[in-house]
């Protein structure tokens, strides 16, 4: 009936290799919360979230206990606030962020995402208001996450938005300077953002989603690394080992997702098959790459190894779940991955190499600290570079960068918890100011014309 | 519904007795036991039927955890569906 080895393998994965469900994220549409009156809209938002997500944390805890699988985070994603706030014409959207924070506190979730604007082609007045409100909104709140989509393969890159985001990130870093500019860890700039991503800080409930849904993000870099430790074969064998492991991990995600959906009476959305590292020892994506045979993450060969990993995770996971979505692949955040931090500290990993890696990983430049005096145009240009990789390769890319106020190359900033700590990295200081000041749009690439 | 109880720890007198006693008390039927002692490490996997149990499954898990702590053992009590999902297609 049950194979003893299988049972012990599962227990070993959970207790020794950090196998867990990283997040159960409930997506909630706020379309019915729009109102010409800001206070009325905020009240509706608070009420709807609290009603829909009332049992989310409790149900997650119950599933965790009964199945014996750690479920690390319970979170909420909502419709991009810029779409909802358009009805009231408000200039400062901080009250909406505060309403989200209050709802998160009431429901007991540790992050709520959706203080978002989608401006890949242009700005509505509401989009502009939202972007301008980000520094104040993310300073006034603790658990609200924000994202701005500035590019897509279909629309090209909105360079006016890239220019704005450089300034906004700097302002946010200054506003939260007392806490190592932590505000910037809650802001993601996307190209090709996905609508059903359960992972923070980039989660929002997209325009085409239903009223509520359950999306689950699995994890398990430690399990993959440990499986590779036993694999002596060539790289085809390595890919096969990763596929088998990803399959098992994803089956667990699918089980939790369907169970949560059933118990909460909310439709199941997707399972996101991502390898999401944490700062804990033995939970690192960089260490998987090193296990494949690299002296250090960042060495030549890193991009190829990551491409293999990212692809094998998807191939293994896709058969294990009825609906796969989100970002699905391998994340490469620096501050949240002990192996990445080590690689940076010993000079093996640079921002340029990380940028190359983002062409083949699931997202982009993630949780990277740079000197606080970095020019805003450099940040905007870095965002544009990253967006270009996403737009041309028809993949999601993102930038979550922290110009840590008053910190310099070699300093280390610590955020604590899952956000970890980041060494301040050197960034190319030659000026792209003239390029950024031109503004306008970089046209959509030829591969966007698929019809 | 079935639950899989795994017990790992230093071997001592009465491990199976205590765990069986707790199962009987809440009307949990033991379906199968696999047990080994390697050096002085005790490893046991017990398959149980919990459909007729007379308390909440989560309370049973708490009691097993507590028993594990008292005896210096690591006891996992888990829903069978997890293993079915991960290891059966």
Nearest beta carbon to residue B86 from set A1, A65, A252? A252
- What is the average pLDDT across A136-150? 97
Q: 10 Å Cβ neighbour count for A450? A: 8
Would an 8 Å CB–CB cutoff place B24 in contact with chain A?
no
Chain center to CA of A182:
15
**Residue A451 has what pLDDT?**
87
Q: How far apart are CA A342 and CA A26, in angstroms?
A: 34
Alpha-carbon dihedral of residues B10, B12, B14, B20, nearest 10 degrees? 10
Answer whether residue A153 shows pLDDT above 90. Answer: yes
Is residue A150 within 8 Å of residue A383, measured between CB atoms?
yes
Is residue A201 within 8 Å of residue A188, measured between CB atoms?
yes
Answer whether residue A196 shows pLDDT above 90. Answer: yes
The mean pLDDT value of chain A amounts to 94
Is residue B46 within 8 Å of residue B5, measured between CB atoms?
yes
Residue B86 to residue A2, Cβ atoms within 8 A: no
Answer whether residue A328 shows pLDDT above 80. Answer: yes
Residue B81 to residue A67, Cβ atoms within 8 A: yes
Q: Which of A137, A204, A225, A257 is nearest to A398 (CA)?
A: A204
Answer whether residue A90 shows pLDDT above 80. Answer: yes
Q: How far apart are CA A302 and CA A304, in angstroms?
A: 5
Q: How far apart are CA A444 and CA A450, in angstroms?
A: 12
Among A135-139, A276-280, A312-316, B30-34, whose mean pLDDT is lowest? A276-280
Would an 8 Å CB–CB cutoff place B1 in contact with chain A?
no
Per the listing, tokens 């009231």 go with A88
Distance of residue B14 Cα from the nearest chain A Cα, in angstroms: 22
Nearest beta carbon to residue A69 from set B61, B77, B82? B82
Per residue in A161-188, pLDDT tens?
A: 999 999 999 999 999 999 999 999 999 9
CA dist list (Å): A19 to A37, A54, A272, A277, A290: 46, 27, 15, 11, 19
Distance of residue A238 Cα from the nearest chain B Cα, in angstroms: 20
Is residue A24 within 8 Å of residue A75, measured between CB atoms?
yes
Q: Give me the long-range contacts of A410-418 (CB less than 8 A, separation at least 24).
A: A413/A180, A413/A181, A413/A369, A414/A180, A415/A180, A415/A182, A415/A185, A415/A335, A418/A72, A418/A73, A418/A278, A418/A279, A418/A336
Per residue in A237-261, pLDDT tens?
A: 999 999 999 999 999 999 999 999 9
Domains and CATH numbers, chain A: 23-191 (3.20.70.20), 219-448 (3.20.70.20)
Residue B4 to residue A255, Cβ atoms within 8 A: no
Q: How far apart are CA A296 and CA B42, in angstroms?
A: 39
Would an 8 Å CB–CB cutoff place A16 in contact with chain B?
no
A310: Cβ contacts below 8 Å, ≥ 6 apart: A329, A330, A360, A361, A362
Would an 8 Å CB–CB cutoff place A12 in contact with chain B?
no
Domains and CATH numbers, chain B: 2-87 (3.30.70.260)
CA distance between the termini of chain A: 51
Interface confidence (ipTM) of the complex = 0.85
Nearest beta carbon to residue B45 from set A7, A15, A65? A7
Residue B82 to residue A62, Cβ atoms within 8 A: no
Per residue in A93-105, pLDDT tens?
A: 999 999 999 999 9
Answer whether residue A15 shows pLDDT above 90. Answer: no
Is residue A260 within 8 Å of residue A63, measured between CB atoms?
yes
């Amino acid at each position: 009936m049950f194979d003893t080895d299988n049972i012990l393998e599962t227990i070993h994965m959970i207790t020794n290799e950090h196998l867990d469900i990283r997040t159960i994220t409930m997506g909630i549409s706020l379309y019915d919360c729009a109102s010409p009156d800001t206070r009325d809209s905020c009240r509706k938002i608070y009420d709807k979230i609290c009603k829909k997500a009332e049992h989310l944390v409790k149900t997650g805890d119950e599933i965790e206990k009964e199945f014996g699988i750690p479920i690390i985070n319970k979170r909420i994603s909502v419709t991009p606030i810029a779409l909802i706030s358009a009805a009231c014409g408000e200039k400062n959207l901080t009250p909406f962020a505060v309403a989200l924070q209050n709802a998160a506190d009431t429901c007991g979730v540790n992050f709520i995402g959706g203080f978002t604007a989608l401006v890949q082609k242009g700005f509505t007045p509401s989009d502009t208001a939202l972007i301008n409100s980000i520094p104040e909104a993310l300073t006034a709140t603790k658990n609200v996450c924000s994202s701005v989509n500035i590019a897509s393969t279909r629309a090209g890159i909105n360079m006016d938005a890239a220019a704005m985001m450089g300034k906004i990130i700097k302002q946010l870093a200054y506003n939260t300077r007392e806490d190592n500019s932590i505000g910037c860890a809650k802001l993601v700039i996307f190209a090709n953002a996905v609508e059903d991503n359960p992972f923070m800080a980039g989660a929002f409930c997209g325009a085409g989603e239903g009223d509520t849904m359950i999306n689950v993000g699995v994890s398990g870099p430690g399990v993959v690394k440990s499986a590779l430790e036993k694999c002596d074969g060539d790289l085809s064998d390595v890919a096969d080992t990763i596929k088998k492991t990803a399959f098992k991990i994803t089956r667990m995600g699918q089980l939790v997702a369907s169970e949560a959906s059933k118990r909460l009476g909310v439709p199941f959305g997707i399972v996101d098959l991502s390898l999401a590292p944490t700062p804990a020892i033995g939970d690192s994506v960089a260490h998987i790459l090193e296990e494949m045979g690299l002296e250090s993450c960042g060495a030549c060969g890193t991009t190829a190894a990551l491409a293999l990993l990212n692809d094998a995770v998807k191939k293994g996971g896709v058969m294990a779940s009825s609906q796969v979505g989100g970002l699905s692949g391998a994340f490469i955040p620096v501050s949240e991955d002990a192996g990445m931090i080590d690689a940076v500290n010993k000079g093996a990993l640079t921002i340029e190499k990380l940028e190359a890696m983002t062409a083949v990983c699931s997202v982009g430049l993630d949780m990277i600290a740079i000197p606080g005096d970095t020019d805003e145009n450099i940040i905007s240009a870095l965002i544009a570079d990253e967006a270009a990789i996403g737009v041309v390769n028809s993949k999601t890319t993102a930038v979550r960068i922290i110009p840590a106020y008053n910190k310099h190359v070699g300093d280390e900033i610590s955020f604590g918890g899952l956000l970890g700590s980041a060494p301040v990295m050197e960034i190319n200081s030659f000026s792209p100011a003239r390029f950024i000041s031109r503004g306008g749009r970089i046209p959509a690439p030829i591969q966007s014309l698929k019809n | 519904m079935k639950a899989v109880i795994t017990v790992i720890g230093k071997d001592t007198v009465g491990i199976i007795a205590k765990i069986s006693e707790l199962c009987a008390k809440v009307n949990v039927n033991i379906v199968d036991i696999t047990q080994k002692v390697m050096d002085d490490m005790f490893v046991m996997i017990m398959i149980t039927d919990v459909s007729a149990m007379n308390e909440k499954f989560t309370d049973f898990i708490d009691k097993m955890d507590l028993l594990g702590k008292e005896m210096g053992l690591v006891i996992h009590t888990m829903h069978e569906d997890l293993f079915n999902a991960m290891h059966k297609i």
